[in-house]
């Protein structure tokens, strides 16, 4: 089913949106017409990230298929024992088979992506007659092909009001640039030329074939997830709706697992695309306006459709901006000063850490860099962001970063990082106790010394971590953390394999260390939860706060959760595909805000629970109480949601963390008793 057909069906039942159309007053700042040119940027950073991404994605795919084969062999073993059959076994395919498959797949990526995009919309050719309506864009495209001696990319168009533009290719002469009708209506000719120039920059950077291959791989689990979810919403499959929801959630999780290694490359390439567009068009102000208009148009489409179109999630790596990141900023009233709302994006010293799991750089940071380009040519910028606030933009030293790590990373991830450190300390401490017990012949504690060697797998990872921290401490800018970890781990594994088994002790498991990490994680989660979720009875609650005021504090961090109560219309998908709560949005009078709903049993609990779920209340007026958190994408951790009929839906994020902590403690104790 195509996205266009879904939109038509859903709009018939949507109530009128709460917010009016956005009509911002633009400064329409001028472009540069002189001959001064900008210094060429080195692409070494992009290429190192590209190499690391290829390695990391290969690891992820290889591990995924390895566990899949192990699971199939486990199932076949059970069948063999039950029916008393002959030996059933699937051998593990060598890694070279995966490499060969990817190499064969690469030349056909553009055709495969054409098929996937046709699952959403009908794609037609963007004819020269249509392009003549945009003379500056047409001239820019022709100038690019002549200046860089490139074959012109195939221009295509899709008929949807959602502002989209995507570029993909596999071979030099197979590049495609697909744009939507909504994008053409949102931008002027000069703004459209700068957006097209960013896409041409991707062609020159050399990362586009790899990105196209990665997008092809990602579409497979996502399309399966979407199709299974569509089946689960049909009445004839009502009896197996819940198993279909589990299966859809599995493929959605697989989609995100394969997507994570690509995020660093996805962010890095955007900087180079913006820089090329500025150098080639000499119009940074038009690109600034284009990015802001795209953000506003995306939010308007979410409001009109009452949900986030699937293509915005499945192809988000190729879009000009991250839809989730601009959801709140683009939905604000035209009277709200954007420079105040965007201040967090380029002044908060922890913004890079808080955007590690995003597909694009922060919008405010991109606009700040574009303003610097305008100042280079002595142009009046479209948005004045940096003059008053530039002294506050500073790099945080290594010690301050480590000390405040729990303020920046998500709760589970930051707790795990601290648990690793505590686990190392506990492992060494109890090894020392066991060693002293052996010296004094105190047998009850000697096992902590003799059970497993102290020098084990975690030592190798500790060395890698220390090297990365040293690089970070010496770096003058946000370093190649992803690149450092991947390349150092690759070198470490190669050393172990090339040393004829002499370093196998660095790759062996250490159950004692794992047990102490689990116990430390349990304690860390319990301590962190009390601070991350302050009691609503002890802290002041904001009733119906203005979203722009919540976004205007440039120093806010996620752990500083503000308890709020906000009313509005609940947006999002209402079917099986949203049982994990990945598309829940509250439309208030002051703008849109993303909701994070977690059941008491976590994501497993959401799939197993028979209690009401928020996705069943989509398109209804609701009141949400929870903790507002400011990160790369602002959100509310839902504590309670009350529908217009008085039904209360309770969030269980705190209970979920408590259950995880108890589970880690029991698992760690079991490992110790088993030794």
Counting every residue, how long is the chain? 675
- Collapse the DSSP code of 257 into the 3-class scheme (helix H, G, I; strand E, B; otherwise coil) and give the result: helix
User: pLDDT digits over 643-672, tens only?
Assistant: 988 889 888 888 888 889 999 999 998 888
Give the pLDDT mean for 302-319.
92
Give the model confidence (pLDDT) of 56-105 as tens digits: 999 999 999 988 888 888 888 877 777 777 777 778 888 888 999 999 99
3 has pLDDT over 50: no
Distance CA 78, CA 72 (A): 10
Q: Are 290 and 187 in contact (CB under 8 A)?
A: yes
Judge whether residue 376 has pLDDT over 80: yes
pLDDT score of 262: 95
* pLDDT per residue as tens digits for the range 147-192: 998 889 999 999 889 999 999 999 888 999 999 999 999 999 999 9
In this model, does residue 488 exceed pLDDT 60?
yes
Residue-wise DSSP of 394-451: -PPPHHHHHHTHHHHS-HHHHHHHHHHHHHHHHHHHHHHHHHHHHHTT-GGGTHHHHS
Element at 494 (helix H, strand E): helix 481-498
**Average pLDDT score over residue span 375-403:** 67
Mean pLDDT, residues 262-276 = 94
Percent of the chain at pLDDT exceeding 90: 42
CB 541 within 8 A of CB 673: no
Q: What is the pLDDT of residue 574?
A: 85
**pTM of this structure:** 0.89
Q: Which residues pair with 584 in a beta bridge?
A: none
Question: Which residues of the chain form CATH 2.40.50.200?
Answer: 542-661
Q: Given pLDDT bands bounded at 50, 70 and 90, which one contains residue 108?
A: very high
Arch. (CATH architecture) of 542-661? Beta Barrel (2.40)
- Beta pairing, strands 562-571 & 585-588: antiparallel
């Amino acid at each position: 089913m195509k996205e266009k057909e879904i939109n038509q069906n859903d709009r018939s039942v949507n109530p009128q949106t709460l917010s009016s159309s956005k009509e911002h007053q633009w400064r329409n700042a001028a472009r540069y017409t002189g001959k001064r040119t900008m210094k060429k940027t080195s692409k070494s950073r992009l290429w190192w990230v590209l190499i690391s991404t290829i390695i990391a994605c290969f690891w992820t795919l290889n591990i995924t298929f390895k566990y899949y084969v192990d699971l199939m062999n486990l199932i076949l073993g059970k069948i063999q024992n039950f029916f008393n059959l002959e030996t059933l076994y699937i051998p593990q395919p060598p890694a070279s088979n995966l490499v060969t498959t990817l190499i064969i797949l690469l030349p056909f990526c553009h055709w495969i992506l054409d098929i996937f995009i046709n699952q959403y919309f009908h794609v037609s050719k963007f004819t020269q007659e249509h392009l003549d309506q945009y003379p500056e864009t047409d001239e820019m495209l022709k100038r690019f092909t002549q200046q860089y001696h490139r074959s012109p990319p195939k221009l295509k168009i899709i008929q949807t009001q959602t502002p989209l533009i995507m570029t993909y290719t596999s071979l030099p002469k197979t590049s495609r640039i697909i744009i939507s009708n909504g994008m053409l209506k949102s931008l002027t000719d000069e703004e459209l030329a700068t957006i097209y120039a960013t896409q041409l920059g991707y062609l020159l950077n050399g990362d586009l074939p790899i990105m196209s291959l990665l997008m092809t791989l990602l579409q497979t689990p996502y399309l399966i997830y979407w199709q299974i979810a569509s089946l689960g919403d049909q009445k004839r499959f009502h009896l197996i709706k819940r198993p279909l929801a589990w299966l859809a959630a599995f493929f959605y999780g697989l989609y995100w697992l394969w997507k994570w290694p690509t995020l660093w490359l996805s962010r890095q390439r955007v900087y180079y695309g913006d820089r090329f567009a500025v150098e080639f068009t000499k119009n940074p102000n038009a690109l600034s306006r284009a990015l802001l208009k795209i953000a506003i148009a995306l939010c308007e489409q979410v409001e009109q459709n009452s949900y986030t179109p699937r293509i915005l999630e499945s192809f988000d790596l190729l879009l000009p901006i991250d839809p989730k990141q601009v959801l709140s900023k683009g939905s604000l009233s035209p009277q709200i000063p954007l420079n105040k709302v965007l201040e967090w994006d380029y002044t908060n010293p922890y913004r890079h850490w808080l955007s590690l799991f995003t597909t694009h750089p922060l919008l405010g940071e991109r606009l700040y860099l574009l303003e610097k380009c305008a100042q280079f040519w002595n142009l009046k910028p479209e948005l004045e962001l940096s003059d008053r606030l530039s002294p506050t933009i500073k790099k945080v030293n290594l010690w301050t970063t480590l000390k405040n790590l729990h303020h920046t990373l998500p709760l589970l991830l930051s707790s795990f990082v601290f648990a690793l450190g505590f686990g190392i300390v506990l492992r060494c401490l109890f090894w020392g106790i066991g060693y002293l017990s052996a010296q004094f012949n105190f047998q009850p504690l000697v096992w902590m010394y003799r059970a497993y060697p102290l020098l084990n797998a975690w030592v190798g990872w500790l060395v890698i971590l220390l090297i990365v921290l040293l690089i970070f401490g010496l770096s003058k800018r946000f370093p190649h953390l992803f690149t450092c970890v991947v390349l150092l781990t690759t070198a470490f594994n190669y050393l172990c394999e090339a040393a004829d088994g002499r370093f196998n002790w660095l790759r062996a498991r250490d159950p004692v260390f794992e047990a102490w990490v689990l116990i430390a994680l349990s304690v860390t989660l319990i301590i962190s939860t009390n601070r991350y979720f302050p009691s609503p009875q002890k802290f002041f609650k904001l009733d119906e706060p203005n979203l722009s005021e919540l976004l205007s504090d440039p120093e806010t961090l996620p752990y500083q959760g503000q308890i709020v109560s906000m009313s509005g219309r609940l947006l999002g998908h209402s079917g099986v595909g949203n049982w994990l709560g990945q598309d829940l949005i509250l439309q208030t009078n002051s703008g849109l805000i993303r909701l994070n709903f977690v059941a008491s049993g976590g994501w497993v609990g959401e799939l197993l629970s028979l209690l009401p779920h928020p996705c069943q209340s989509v398109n209804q007026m609701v009141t949400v109480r929870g903790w507002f958190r400011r990160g790369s994408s602002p959100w509310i951790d839902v504590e309670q949601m009350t529908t217009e009929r008085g039904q209360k839906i309770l969030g269980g994020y705190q209970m979920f963390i408590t259950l995880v902590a108890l589970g880690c403690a029991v698992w760690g104790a079991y490992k110790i008793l088993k030794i």
